[in-house]
Protein backbone atom coordinates (compact mmCIF):
# COMPACT_ATOMS: atom_id res chain seq x y z
CA UNK A 1 0.00 0.00 0.00
CA UNK A 2 3.04 2.29 0.17
CA UNK A 3 2.09 4.01 -3.10
CA UNK A 4 -1.35 4.83 -1.79
CA UNK A 5 -0.11 6.53 1.35
CA UNK A 6 -0.46 10.28 1.03
CA UNK A 7 0.68 13.32 2.98
CA UNK A 8 -0.42 13.55 6.61
CA UNK A 9 -3.37 15.91 6.83
CA UNK A 10 -5.00 15.61 10.26
CA UNK A 11 -8.32 17.36 10.80
CA UNK A 12 -8.00 20.73 12.58
CA UNK A 13 -9.11 19.51 16.00
CA UNK A 14 -9.74 21.54 19.10
CA UNK A 15 -8.41 19.34 21.89
CA UNK A 16 -10.43 19.90 25.04
CA UNK A 17 -9.34 16.67 26.70
CA UNK A 18 -7.13 16.18 29.75
CA UNK A 19 -4.21 16.14 27.28
CA UNK A 20 -2.74 16.58 24.82
CA UNK A 21 -3.77 20.21 24.67
CA UNK A 22 -3.50 22.50 21.66
CA UNK A 23 -0.01 23.71 20.81
CA UNK A 24 1.06 27.30 20.07
CA UNK A 25 2.50 27.98 16.56
CA UNK A 26 5.78 29.06 18.18
CA UNK A 27 6.11 25.59 19.69
CA UNK A 28 5.43 23.92 16.31
CA UNK A 29 8.18 26.07 14.81
CA UNK A 30 10.58 25.05 17.58
CA UNK A 31 9.73 21.42 16.88
CA UNK A 32 10.94 21.89 13.30
CA UNK A 33 14.29 23.36 14.40
CA UNK A 34 17.20 21.51 12.71
CA UNK A 35 18.73 18.81 14.87
CA UNK A 36 21.96 19.31 16.78
CA UNK A 37 23.66 16.31 18.39
CA UNK A 38 22.55 15.56 21.92
CA UNK A 39 26.19 15.75 23.13
CA UNK A 40 27.10 18.80 21.02
CA UNK A 41 28.33 21.60 23.30
CA UNK A 42 25.71 23.93 21.80
CA UNK A 43 22.97 21.50 22.74
CA UNK A 44 24.30 20.67 26.19
CA UNK A 45 24.45 24.39 26.95
CA UNK A 46 20.88 24.85 25.68
CA UNK A 47 19.79 22.10 28.10
CA UNK A 48 20.70 24.53 30.88
CA UNK A 49 18.05 26.98 29.54
CA UNK A 50 15.42 24.27 29.75
CA UNK A 51 16.40 23.41 33.31
CA UNK A 52 16.31 27.07 34.33
CA UNK A 53 12.86 27.51 32.79
CA UNK A 54 11.60 24.36 34.50
CA UNK A 55 12.87 25.65 37.85
CA UNK A 56 10.85 28.83 37.30
CA UNK A 57 7.70 26.91 36.44
CA UNK A 58 8.06 24.44 39.33
CA UNK A 59 9.13 27.37 41.57
CA UNK A 60 12.18 25.59 42.89
CA UNK A 61 15.93 25.96 43.32
CA UNK A 62 16.41 22.17 43.13
CA UNK A 63 19.63 21.24 41.34
CA UNK A 64 18.03 18.06 39.98
CA UNK A 65 15.33 19.46 37.69
CA UNK A 66 15.02 18.18 34.13
CA UNK A 67 12.65 16.55 31.63
CA UNK A 68 12.67 12.73 31.61
CA UNK A 69 12.41 11.24 28.10
CA UNK A 70 8.99 9.67 28.65
CA UNK A 71 5.31 10.55 28.92
CA UNK A 72 3.78 11.48 32.27
CA UNK A 73 3.60 7.82 33.30
CA UNK A 74 7.39 7.64 33.03
CA UNK A 75 7.40 10.49 35.54
CA UNK A 76 5.35 8.37 37.95
CA UNK A 77 7.71 5.46 37.40
CA UNK A 78 10.86 7.51 38.05
CA UNK A 79 9.39 9.25 41.08
CA UNK A 80 8.51 5.95 42.75
CA UNK A 81 11.18 3.41 41.75
CA UNK A 82 14.08 5.67 42.72
CA UNK A 83 13.37 6.24 46.41
CA UNK A 84 11.77 2.83 47.11
CA UNK A 85 13.71 -0.35 47.84
CA UNK A 86 12.40 -3.82 48.72
CA UNK A 87 11.05 -3.84 52.26
CA UNK A 88 10.44 -0.06 52.47
CA UNK A 89 7.00 1.13 53.51
CA UNK A 90 5.02 3.53 51.34
CA UNK A 91 1.56 5.07 51.43
CA UNK A 92 -0.09 5.85 48.11
CA UNK A 93 -3.28 7.92 48.11
CA UNK A 94 -5.63 6.38 45.54
CA UNK A 95 -8.72 8.13 44.21
CA UNK A 96 -8.56 7.46 40.48
CA UNK A 97 -6.72 5.79 37.61
CA UNK A 98 -3.47 7.75 37.81
CA UNK A 99 -3.00 7.45 41.56
CA UNK A 100 -3.79 3.76 41.22
CA UNK A 101 -1.06 3.56 38.57
CA UNK A 102 1.35 5.04 41.12
CA UNK A 103 0.33 2.34 43.62
CA UNK A 104 0.82 -0.44 41.05
CA UNK A 105 4.29 0.83 40.16
CA UNK A 106 5.22 1.16 43.84
CA UNK A 107 4.05 -2.41 44.51
CA UNK A 108 6.40 -3.71 41.82
CA UNK A 109 9.44 -2.32 43.67
CA UNK A 110 9.04 -4.87 46.46
CA UNK A 111 8.13 -2.12 48.91
CA UNK A 112 5.22 -2.65 51.32
CA UNK A 113 2.55 -0.39 49.90
CA UNK A 114 -0.53 0.76 51.79
CA UNK A 115 -3.24 2.24 49.61
CA UNK A 116 -5.27 4.96 51.28
CA UNK A 117 -8.37 5.27 49.17
CA UNK A 118 -11.17 7.75 48.61
CA UNK A 119 -14.27 7.15 46.50
CA UNK A 120 -13.90 8.36 42.90
CA UNK A 121 -15.06 11.96 42.85
CA UNK A 122 -13.71 12.74 46.33
CA UNK A 123 -10.34 14.02 47.55
CA UNK A 124 -8.28 11.74 49.78
CA UNK A 125 -8.65 12.54 53.48
CA UNK A 126 -5.26 13.39 55.03
CA UNK A 127 -6.56 11.98 58.35
CA UNK A 128 -6.76 8.55 56.71
CA UNK A 129 -3.07 8.82 55.79
CA UNK A 130 -2.22 9.84 59.36
CA UNK A 131 -4.09 6.81 60.72
CA UNK A 132 -2.55 4.39 58.19
CA UNK A 133 0.98 5.60 58.92
CA UNK A 134 0.72 5.72 62.70
CA UNK A 135 3.53 3.73 64.36
CA UNK A 136 5.06 2.75 61.01
CA UNK A 137 8.31 3.73 59.37
CA UNK A 138 6.83 5.25 56.23
CA UNK A 139 9.44 6.36 53.69
CA UNK A 140 7.19 7.88 51.07
CA UNK A 141 3.69 9.32 50.70
CA UNK A 142 2.50 9.54 47.10
CA UNK A 143 -0.43 11.62 45.84
CA UNK A 144 -1.81 13.31 42.73
CA UNK A 145 -2.25 17.07 42.80
CA UNK A 146 -5.02 16.73 40.24
CA UNK A 147 -6.46 13.24 39.62
CA UNK A 148 -7.53 13.97 36.06
CA UNK A 149 -9.45 10.68 35.69
CA UNK A 150 -12.08 12.12 38.06
CA UNK A 151 -11.19 15.87 38.01
CA UNK A 152 -10.51 15.87 41.77
CA UNK A 153 -7.80 18.06 43.32
CA UNK A 154 -6.06 17.12 46.58
CA UNK A 155 -4.93 19.76 49.08
CA UNK A 156 -1.16 19.28 49.02
CA UNK A 157 -0.46 21.36 52.14
CA UNK A 158 -2.52 19.04 54.32
CA UNK A 159 -0.56 16.02 53.02
CA UNK A 160 2.73 17.84 53.59
CA UNK A 161 1.81 18.22 57.27
CA UNK A 162 0.98 14.53 57.60
CA UNK A 163 4.12 13.47 55.71
CA UNK A 164 6.13 15.66 58.11
CA UNK A 165 4.60 13.88 61.09
CA UNK A 166 5.48 10.52 59.51
CA UNK A 167 8.94 11.82 58.51
CA UNK A 168 8.19 10.63 54.97
CA UNK A 169 8.99 12.27 51.67
CA UNK A 170 6.04 13.58 49.66
CA UNK A 171 5.85 12.55 45.99
CA UNK A 172 3.41 14.57 43.92
CA UNK A 173 1.96 13.90 40.45
CA UNK A 174 1.39 17.31 38.86
CA UNK A 175 1.06 15.94 35.33
CA UNK A 176 -2.24 17.69 34.67
CA UNK A 177 -1.79 20.72 36.93
CA UNK A 178 1.71 22.21 36.49
CA UNK A 179 1.42 25.64 34.80
CA UNK A 180 -2.38 25.54 35.11
CA UNK A 181 -3.05 25.42 38.86
CA UNK A 182 -1.17 27.14 41.70
CA UNK A 183 1.87 25.09 42.73
CA UNK A 184 5.07 26.10 44.52
CA UNK A 185 7.49 23.19 44.90
CA UNK A 186 9.87 24.90 47.33
CA UNK A 187 7.21 26.88 49.19
CA UNK A 188 5.07 23.77 49.69
CA UNK A 189 8.15 21.58 50.31
CA UNK A 190 7.28 18.89 47.79
CA UNK A 191 10.20 16.44 47.80
CA UNK A 192 9.61 14.92 44.36
CA UNK A 193 7.32 16.53 41.83
CA UNK A 194 6.82 15.51 38.21
CA UNK A 195 4.64 16.55 35.29
CA UNK A 196 3.91 15.93 31.61
CA UNK A 197 4.74 18.13 28.63
CA UNK A 198 1.39 17.79 26.85
CA UNK A 199 -1.00 19.08 29.50
CA UNK A 200 -1.02 22.65 30.87
CA UNK A 201 2.47 23.31 29.46
CA UNK A 202 1.05 22.70 25.94
CA UNK A 203 4.10 21.07 24.37
CA UNK A 204 3.82 17.78 22.45
CA UNK A 205 3.66 14.59 24.55
CA UNK A 206 6.84 12.68 25.31
CA UNK A 207 8.58 14.51 28.14
CA UNK A 208 8.04 14.30 31.89
CA UNK A 209 9.62 17.21 33.75
CA UNK A 210 10.75 16.18 37.22
CA UNK A 211 12.32 17.93 40.18
CA UNK A 212 13.66 16.52 43.44
CA UNK A 213 15.34 18.08 46.44
CA UNK A 214 18.52 17.54 48.43
CA UNK A 215 16.79 15.18 50.85
CA UNK A 216 15.85 12.85 47.98
CA UNK A 217 19.33 13.10 46.47
CA UNK A 218 20.71 11.84 49.80
CA UNK A 219 18.13 9.07 49.87
CA UNK A 220 19.24 7.96 46.38
CA UNK A 221 22.91 8.01 47.37
CA UNK A 222 22.10 5.86 50.42
CA UNK A 223 20.36 3.11 48.39
CA UNK A 224 21.55 -0.41 49.22
CA UNK A 225 20.32 -1.92 45.94
CA UNK A 226 20.52 -0.54 42.39
CA UNK A 227 17.30 0.99 41.02
CA UNK A 228 15.39 -1.89 39.37
CA UNK A 229 14.80 0.13 36.19
CA UNK A 230 17.89 1.00 34.15
CA UNK A 231 16.14 3.60 31.97
CA UNK A 232 14.47 5.45 34.85
CA UNK A 233 17.43 5.27 37.23
CA UNK A 234 17.80 8.94 38.15
CA UNK A 235 21.24 8.41 39.67
CA UNK A 236 22.54 7.91 36.11
CA UNK A 237 20.22 10.18 34.06
CA UNK A 238 21.15 12.93 36.50
CA UNK A 239 24.68 12.80 35.07
CA UNK A 240 23.43 13.70 31.59
CA UNK A 241 21.39 16.57 32.98
CA UNK A 242 24.04 17.38 35.61
CA UNK A 243 27.35 19.20 35.11
CA UNK A 244 28.97 16.19 33.45
CA UNK A 245 26.45 15.86 30.58
CA UNK A 246 27.59 12.23 30.17
CA UNK A 247 25.78 10.08 27.64
CA UNK A 248 22.91 8.05 29.09
CA UNK A 249 20.44 7.69 26.22
CA UNK A 250 19.82 9.80 23.12
CA UNK A 251 17.69 12.72 24.21
CA UNK A 252 14.54 13.49 22.15
CA UNK A 253 16.17 16.66 20.80
CA UNK A 254 13.16 18.04 18.91
CA UNK A 255 10.87 17.54 21.88
CA UNK A 256 13.31 19.40 24.09
CA UNK A 257 13.33 22.31 21.61
CA UNK A 258 9.54 22.33 21.72
CA UNK A 259 9.41 22.14 25.51
CA UNK A 260 11.85 25.05 25.76
CA UNK A 261 9.58 27.24 23.63
CA UNK A 262 6.43 26.17 25.51
CA UNK A 263 8.13 27.01 28.83
CA UNK A 264 9.21 30.38 27.44
CA UNK A 265 5.55 31.07 26.69
CA UNK A 266 4.59 30.10 30.26
CA UNK A 267 7.19 32.41 31.74
CA UNK A 268 6.27 35.28 29.37
CA UNK A 269 2.65 35.04 30.45
CA UNK A 270 3.63 34.76 34.12
CA UNK A 271 2.50 31.98 36.43
CA UNK A 272 -0.08 34.02 38.35
CA UNK A 273 -1.67 35.38 35.17
CA UNK A 274 -1.73 31.89 33.69
CA UNK A 275 -3.36 30.35 36.77
CA UNK A 276 -5.92 33.15 36.78
CA UNK A 277 -6.70 32.58 33.08
CA UNK A 278 -7.29 28.90 33.78
CA UNK A 279 -9.48 29.75 36.78
CA UNK A 280 -11.66 32.25 34.92
CA UNK A 281 -12.19 29.96 31.95
CA UNK A 282 -13.15 27.03 34.15
CA UNK A 283 -15.54 29.20 36.16
CA UNK A 284 -17.27 30.21 32.94
CA UNK A 285 -17.40 26.59 31.80
CA UNK A 286 -18.93 25.48 35.12
CA UNK A 287 -21.46 28.34 35.03
CA UNK A 288 -22.44 27.26 31.51
CA UNK A 289 -22.72 23.59 32.38
CA UNK A 290 -24.87 24.25 35.43
CA UNK A 291 -27.12 26.67 33.54
CA UNK A 292 -27.73 23.88 31.02
CA UNK A 293 -29.02 21.73 33.87
CA UNK A 294 -25.96 19.47 33.91
CA UNK A 295 -23.98 18.62 37.03
CA UNK A 296 -20.27 18.60 37.75
CA UNK A 297 -19.14 15.13 38.87
CA UNK A 298 -17.09 16.53 41.75
CA UNK A 299 -19.67 17.79 44.20
CA UNK A 300 -17.42 19.66 46.64
CA UNK A 301 -16.23 22.90 44.94
CA UNK A 302 -12.98 22.97 46.96
CA UNK A 303 -12.10 19.51 45.61
CA UNK A 304 -12.42 20.46 41.93
CA UNK A 305 -9.46 20.68 39.63
CA UNK A 306 -9.18 23.89 37.64
CA UNK A 307 -7.65 22.36 34.52
CA UNK A 308 -10.03 19.43 34.05
CA UNK A 309 -13.79 19.45 34.66
CA UNK A 310 -15.89 16.30 34.88
CA UNK A 311 -19.57 16.44 33.95
CA UNK A 312 -22.12 13.74 34.82
CA UNK A 313 -23.67 12.17 31.71
CA UNK A 314 -27.44 12.66 32.16
CA UNK A 315 -29.63 9.53 32.32
CA UNK A 316 -30.62 8.26 28.89
CA UNK A 317 -27.82 10.08 27.04
CA UNK A 318 -25.17 8.04 25.19
CA UNK A 319 -21.75 9.39 26.20
CA UNK A 320 -20.01 8.02 23.10
CA UNK A 321 -22.54 9.40 20.60
CA UNK A 322 -22.19 12.87 22.09
CA UNK A 323 -18.39 12.75 21.86
CA UNK A 324 -18.50 11.37 18.33
CA UNK A 325 -20.83 14.12 17.13
CA UNK A 326 -18.73 16.82 18.76
CA UNK A 327 -15.77 15.45 16.84
CA UNK A 328 -17.54 14.94 13.50
CA UNK A 329 -19.57 18.13 13.43
CA UNK A 330 -17.36 20.58 15.33
CA UNK A 331 -13.86 19.06 15.37
CA UNK A 332 -13.94 19.23 19.15
CA UNK A 333 -12.51 16.38 21.19
CA UNK A 334 -13.49 15.84 24.82
CA UNK A 335 -12.82 12.73 26.91
CA UNK A 336 -15.03 10.11 28.52
CA UNK A 337 -14.51 8.30 31.82
CA UNK A 338 -12.21 5.36 32.60
CA UNK A 339 -13.00 2.08 34.36
CA UNK A 340 -15.94 2.42 36.73
CA UNK A 341 -16.69 5.89 35.32
CA UNK A 342 -16.93 4.72 31.69
CA UNK A 343 -20.12 6.12 30.16
CA UNK A 344 -20.86 8.04 33.38
CA UNK A 345 -18.81 11.24 32.96
CA UNK A 346 -17.37 13.54 30.32
CA UNK A 347 -14.06 15.18 31.04
CA UNK A 348 -13.36 18.58 29.56
CA UNK A 349 -9.79 19.83 29.72
CA UNK A 350 -9.01 23.53 29.56
CA UNK A 351 -5.25 23.21 29.65
CA UNK A 352 -2.56 25.61 28.52
CA UNK A 353 -3.29 26.90 25.01
CA UNK A 354 -6.70 25.24 25.03
CA UNK A 355 -7.89 27.39 27.95
CA UNK A 356 -9.39 30.40 26.15
CA UNK A 357 -12.68 32.31 26.23
CA UNK A 358 -13.28 31.47 22.58
CA UNK A 359 -12.95 27.76 23.27
CA UNK A 360 -15.28 27.85 26.27
CA UNK A 361 -18.01 29.72 24.38
CA UNK A 362 -17.63 27.58 21.26
CA UNK A 363 -17.67 24.38 23.29
CA UNK A 364 -20.81 25.35 25.21
CA UNK A 365 -22.65 26.28 22.01
CA UNK A 366 -21.56 23.09 20.22
CA UNK A 367 -22.33 20.95 23.27
CA UNK A 368 -25.85 22.39 23.45
CA UNK A 369 -26.48 21.62 19.77
CA UNK A 370 -25.20 18.06 20.17
CA UNK A 371 -27.16 17.39 23.36
CA UNK A 372 -30.36 18.63 21.70
CA UNK A 373 -29.71 16.33 18.72
CA UNK A 374 -29.13 13.43 21.13
CA UNK A 375 -32.53 13.98 22.71
CA UNK A 376 -31.36 15.76 25.85
CA UNK A 377 -33.52 18.78 26.62
CA UNK A 378 -31.32 21.75 27.43
CA UNK A 379 -32.61 25.33 27.64
CA UNK A 380 -31.66 27.26 24.49
CA UNK A 381 -28.69 29.59 24.89
CA UNK A 382 -28.51 29.09 28.65
CA UNK A 383 -24.96 27.73 28.73
CA UNK A 384 -23.37 30.43 26.60
CA UNK A 385 -25.41 33.11 28.38
CA UNK A 386 -24.21 32.00 31.81
CA UNK A 387 -20.60 31.82 30.62
CA UNK A 388 -20.79 35.34 29.20
CA UNK A 389 -22.13 36.62 32.54
CA UNK A 390 -19.38 34.73 34.36
CA UNK A 391 -16.75 36.48 32.23
CA UNK A 392 -18.37 39.84 32.89
CA UNK A 393 -18.07 39.15 36.63
CA UNK A 394 -14.55 37.67 36.66
CA UNK A 395 -13.11 40.47 34.53
CA UNK A 396 -14.71 42.96 36.93
CA UNK A 397 -12.83 41.18 39.73
CA UNK A 398 -9.62 41.04 37.73
CA UNK A 399 -9.68 44.78 37.12
CA UNK A 400 -10.83 45.57 40.65
CA UNK A 401 -14.22 46.68 39.30
CA UNK A 402 -12.62 49.46 37.23
CA UNK A 403 -12.72 49.45 33.47
Ligand X SMILES: *Cc1c(COP(=O)(O)O)cnc(C)c1O
Residue ranges that bind ligand X, judged by CB under 6 A: 18-19, 71-73, 98, 144, 146, 148, 173, 175-176, 196, 205
Write down the least CB distance from residue 335 to ligand X, Å: 10
43 DSSP 8-state letter = H
Nearest of 353, 370, 386, 4 to residue 180 by alpha carbon: 353
Write down the least CB distance from residue 174 to ligand X, Å: 8
Query: Is-cis flag, bond preceding 69, omega within 30?
Result: no
Sequence-distant (6+) residues with CB within 8 A of 390 are 280, 283, 284, 287, 288
Write down the least CB distance from residue 78 to ligand X, Å: 12
Alpha-carbon separation of residue 100 from 73, 105, 144, 193, 264 (angstroms): 12, 9, 10, 17, 33
d(CA 328, CA 282): 24
By beta-carbon proximity to ligand X, the closer residue of 126 and 196 is 196
Helix axes 271-291, 253-269, angle to 10 degrees: 80
Write down the least CB distance from residue 201 to ligand X, Å: 11
By beta-carbon proximity to ligand X, the closer residue of 31 and 46 is 31
Give the DSSP H/E element, type plus range, for residue 79: helix 72-81
d(CA 132, CA 116): 7
* Three-class secondary structure of residue 236 per DSSP: helix
Nearest of 353, 45, 57, 100 to residue 209 by alpha carbon: 57
d(CA 54, CA 83): 22
By beta-carbon proximity to ligand X, the closer residue of 33 and 71 is 71
Write down the least CB distance from residue 332 to ligand X, Å: 19
Write down the least CB distance from residue 308 to ligand X, Å: 7
d(CA 381, CA 387): 10
Nearest of 246, 215, 213, 259 to residue 70 by alpha carbon: 259
Write down the least CB distance from residue 355 to ligand X, Å: 15
By beta-carbon proximity to ligand X, the closer residue of 72 and 352 is 72
Write down the least CB distance from residue 346 to ligand X, Å: 16
By beta-carbon proximity to ligand X, the closer residue of 96 and 383 is 96
By beta-carbon proximity to ligand X, the closer residue of 18 and 83 is 18
What is the bridge-based pairing of β-strands 208-212 and 64-68? Answer: antiparallel
| Environment class of 352 (CB within 10 Å of its CB; exposed 0-12, middle 13-18, buried 19+) | buried
* Three-class secondary structure of residue 257 per DSSP: helix
Give a three-class secondary structure readout of 21-65: CCCCHHHHHHHCCCCCCCCCHHHHHHHHHHHHHHHHHHCCCCCEE
Nearest of 92, 94, 181, 58 to residue 66 by alpha carbon: 58
By beta-carbon proximity to ligand X, the closer residue of 67 and 196 is 196
Write down the least CB distance from residue 126 to ligand X, Å: 19
By beta-carbon proximity to ligand X, the closer residue of 197 and 390 is 197
By beta-carbon proximity to ligand X, the closer residue of 51 and 148 is 148
Write down the least CB distance from residue 316 to ligand X, Å: 30
By beta-carbon proximity to ligand X, the closer residue of 138 and 351 is 351
Amino acid sequence: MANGIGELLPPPRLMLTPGPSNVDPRVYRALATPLVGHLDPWFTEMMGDVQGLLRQVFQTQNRVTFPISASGSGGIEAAVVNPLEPGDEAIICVNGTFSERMAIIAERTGARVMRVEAPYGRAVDPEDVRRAGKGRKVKLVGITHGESSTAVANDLNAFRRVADELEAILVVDTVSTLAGMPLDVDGQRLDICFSGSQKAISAPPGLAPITLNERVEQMLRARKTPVQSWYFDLTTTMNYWGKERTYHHTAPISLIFALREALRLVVEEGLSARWERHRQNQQALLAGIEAMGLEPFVETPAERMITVTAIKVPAGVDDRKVRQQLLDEFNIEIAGGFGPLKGKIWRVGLLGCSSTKNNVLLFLAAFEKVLLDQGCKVPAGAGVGAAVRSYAETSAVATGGKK
